[in-house]
Structure 1
């Protein structure tokens, strides 16, 4: 029996309170009908004995304590799912906003996902080629991994996200089964238009499902956006055996919406005002990446977050680093020198990289080359620090060689144009060409066999 509850007990910002209700559950959807016939969707965000707190999607403007009738639907929020979602643009709550009409759903699914038994997970292997040398060689993105990008306000992370969407691909034999789900949270109109325009211009939109939450949209929609995006990704991956790359930007906007939502409920704040459950909430999003036994598909995540004041110890990047399997850190000083993408190599890593590269995946020398590039670039930092104290003229020949290597590495390897798409072979060959500018005796992370095969002083001039 469906009951309608007339009137409200309390209105507080985007929240409304109903007393004397029973038989409802957390996350249940409700419809609020006003006297003039307009309807608004709401979601139960708190339940206690005979009282329920609901968050209204469209806001509470125009509501009074007496002009509403609330009907609970007995189910959580569900997303209409279909393979037609590729090439379409949706709001953060999963409603089409591209003017092409509704999709014909093959099924509906709870946006919160289903708990995944850890035993049913398969270990992520094989890589996704982004065409970006610094990522593919040094912090390789593995299929089924969650690898965030730590950026800062004003850096080129949006440009990098577009380039990854345009260039990302998997092994050629499965390339036709690869697609991207793109979720943008709290973005301004110009940023949303930039994403749309770029995807349309490059023809990438046909293999992309976009979920866009604007900065002036309700915060409840911002909290739903990553969940709708991941529900779409799980459907395509695990029911249609596709390999899905999910890009979520900006997770800091999501966390700030969660903080505002928590504050409106009167919850006790934690670090920097964020709710104490921020870790588990972020985990409920990030842990939806992976590969499931019995399915040929996979869900890979690249969450992008902007660090306030470039502070990597801020709660959002800090907790994200605990949950995910590495990070790609962007560097402001590199960006100011004109390097794109401004990836800071030394603090970046991919923890699953070692099991998805090498012979049979990329190339047999990949791991050794990556280790040697990391080691050499670390010595560049030491040589630059020493040069700032005693002057570059007083450095040893070896230190001068590292200074030259550092300049070449940043100008030719890290730096690459927005339209440059390098194969993994081109990237690895470029790395060997740069290492060949160093004395062979300095390359102690590479075995003799590969050193003889790939090292050549002549490569330095041609790379």
Structure 2
């Protein structure tokens, strides 16, 4: 694409944020409930429409229409509702949906949960503005995930190999080193060089990582930033950070902004993108908070009944598309409350994804790192990522032998109470 065509595409992308028709400003806020603002007497409100709220002090906030009932609109405010005055707050309906600016220059940068730079660097010159909900992919156009992405962790690469385009979660729990494992994967991840493939296909410049952290504290956020910057992996990482003191509602859009960026890098820039999302439990908690504010009928353990569909709208954005050489591989990380794998969050995640990597507390207590238990771990697409012309001809045999050896090493002994004791 020459410079003239590039300037035209950029101007078209920017102009989509502006509507020539006059906008109507409302002062009809009838109530504030948690992260939600309720407006009455709105003329033709639209679902998912972006709303600009201007507070009495002149500050502006952004919201999105969550529910429409006649002339009433319920708006979720991304920056929180603290300080909103029902009488003096003005609301402007833009007529547009929530879009995020995307560019290849986003690699090596740090953004907040709303996609705004927070590394004190220059503003990103957007190459396009994309809907954060993503574009629907025709199932017929999807390609079966093949070829392997290496993580540098032997228990994953050898016994639970990950295919390009796969979605496989890490099941962890509070107090376990899932943050360290995620940082290690970012340091060591890369493409496996395949025989017969071009050098460009396995080149490091053809691989990128999109990392989104939701609800993390300052210490964890500082750990990720320092680790990526000190080991040199930051240049291939696009980092999104939603902190624990940020508005809860922001956690709902953070993974979608990250995945929209990944889709641009994969399908427009032809890169193989690894997306790491942590912690999906914080995302589900935010979803439950919004559902409670809307006074919806709760489901299991208070989570909304549509949580399965909502999680699927995130996980199913991984994959490969016919006609594009790029791919999106997802590794969502979630913490199981009370180490309960039957909790709704890991339970529903397991139905959607293609396997799981299980972080074991017993192994962690024995100072084993990474404490990945290979027996309950599973990669359902491993068979399409290993073998001849993929990794090694004997990869499957080696994996089976190690799994058998691990099983034989589990000694079951009867303790004094007659119960079964599992020792490694």
TM-score between the two structures when normalised by the length of structure 1: 0.82
Give the equivalent residue in structure 1 for 2:65.
44
- 1:246-297: CA deviation from partner (whole Å, max 9, x where unpaired): 0000000100011111101111110011000010000000000000001000
> How far, CA to CA, are the matches of 2:174 and 2:218 in structure 1?
17
Q: Does 1:336 align with 2:365?
A: yes
- The alpha carbon displacement at 1:34 in A equals 2.4
Partner of 1:91: 112
- CA offset digits 1:324-363 (Å, max 9, x no partner): 0000001000001110000011110000001110011111
Residue 107 of structure 2 corresponds to residue 107 of structure 1? no
- Unmatched 5+ stretches in structure 1: 390-402, 408-463
Aligned length, in residue pairs? 392
Contact 1:289 1:299 in 2 (8 A): yes
In the TM superposition, residue 38 of structure 1 has moved relative to its aligned partner by 1.7
SS in 2 for 1:236: helix
CA contact (8 A) 1:6 1:70 kept: yes
Aligned partner of 1:32 among 53, 70, 74: 53
Larger Rg: 1
Aligned with residue 274 of structure 2, among 245, 248, 254: 245
Matches of 2:41 and 2:363 in 1, distance apart? 59
Aligned to 1:158: 179
Query: Paired residue for 1:213, among 227, 242, 250?
Result: 242
Distance 2:29 2:311 in 1: 32
Q: What's 2:382 paired with? A: 353
- Structure 2 unaligned segments of length 5 or more: list them: 1-21, 194-198, 417-421
The structure 1 residue matched to 2:328, chosen from 285, 296, 299, is 299
What's the counterpart of residue 16 of structure 2? Answer: none
Residues 226-237 of structure 1 aligned to structure 2 (within 5 Å): 226-237=255-266
Residue equivalent to 1:364: 393
Which structure's residues are more often strand, by fraction? 2
Kept in 2, the 8 Å contact 1:307–1:317? The answer is yes
1:184-232 deviation line (CA, Å, top 9, x unaligned): 0000000000000000000110000000000010111111110010000
Moved more, 66-75 or 54-63: 54-63
Match of 2:299 among 264, 270, 273: 270
Distance 1:3 1:20 in 2: 12
Aligned-partner Cα distance in 2 for 1:298–1:23: 39
- Contact kept, 8 Å, 1:7 with 1:67, in 2: the verdict is no
* Alignment correspondent of 1:127: 148
Greater helix share, structure number: 1
Contact 1:139 1:353 in 2 (8 A): yes
| 1:245 shift after superposition | 0.2
Cα deviation per residue 1:57-93 (whole Å; 9 max; x = unaligned)? 2222222221011111111111101001000000111
Query: How far off its partner does 1:387 sit?
Result: 7.3
1:181 equivalent in alignment to 2:210: yes
SS in 2 for 1:347: strand
SS class of match (2:374): strand
Deviations 1:8-53 (A, max 9, x none): 1111122111112132222111101123322111111111111100
Secondary structure, counterpart of 1:240 in structure 2: coil
CA distance in 2, matches of 1:242, 1:218: 32
Residue 224 (str. 1) matches residue 253 (str. 2) = yes
Q: Determine helix, strand or coil for the equivalent of 1:127.
A: strand
Residue number among 75, 83, 95 corresponding to 1:74 in the alignment: 95
Counterpart Cα distance in 1 of 2:320 and 2:107: 21
